[in-house]
Amino acid sequence: MTHATKSLYLARTAALLCALLVVPAWFATSAQAQSSTSAPTGSTLALNQPLPALQLKDQHDKAWQVPADTRLVLFAAGRKASSLVQAVLEKEPKDFLAQRHTVYLADMSKMPAFATRMFALPSLREMPFPVGVSLNEATLAAWPRQPDSLTLISLANGVVQGVAFATTEADLRAALAR
């Protein structure tokens, strides 16, 4: 190995080690900074109780809340649940959810900040309707969820009437048709 080749090898190795040490620390710092941007509410859901008030922003960084006349909350706590919602709603008109008194809420608190900013939020920005976005893990931690399922929260006058889970497009379409 020539001196120039050794130097190049050492420089590349040092750069790789630096990336392995610095990038995870950056992600951790970004996630901490991101989670401190929304006020935690630690809200829980209970049947026959009012839906907890949420102080969130939508995918365009505008204030977002659940309107008083909402009858259904689509709560996606993971990637598969979010993909299910997007698959069903991507071809629907802009006012599809509003006509059904339905809102979409996405919990992105467990996603690394970099992935949220670079991939998830830009994807949500393409949606023609508002999406409530939670970036703070404590805000929705006590809300019901199942692995790979979309949580369907039924409301009447702001009071939780029921909680169900959708795992297929057919399940979600049926819930939206009610």
pLDDT at residue 9 is higher than 70: no
Whether residue 38 lies inside any domain: the answer is no
Whether residue 76 lies inside any domain: the answer is yes
What is the tens place of the pLDDT at every residue in 65-123? 999 999 999 999 999 999 999 999 988 999 999 999 999 999 988 888 888 788 788 88
Q: What CATH number does the domain containing 164 carry?
A: 3.40.30.10
What gap in Å lies between CA 5 and CA 7, rounded to an integer? 5
SS3 105: strand
Residue with tokens 């809200």: 43
CA 77 to chain centre: 6
Task: Report how many domains make up the chain.
Answer: 1
Q: Rg (Cα) of the chain, in Å, rounded?
A: 20
Whether residue 114 lies inside any domain: the answer is yes
What is the tens place of the pLDDT at every residue in 26-69? 333 334 334 333 334 467 899 999 999 999 999 989 999 999 99
Whether residue 30 lies inside any domain: the answer is no
- C-alpha distances in angstroms, 85 versus 20, 44, 164? 35, 23, 15
Residue with tokens 């309107």: 67
Q: Which domain holds residue 167?
A: 56-177
pLDDT at residue 10 is higher than 70: no
Q: Provide the whole-model pTM.
A: 0.75
What gap in Å lies between CA 96 and CA 103, rounded to an integer? 10
Whether residue 60 lies inside any domain: the answer is yes
Whether residue 51 lies inside any domain: the answer is no
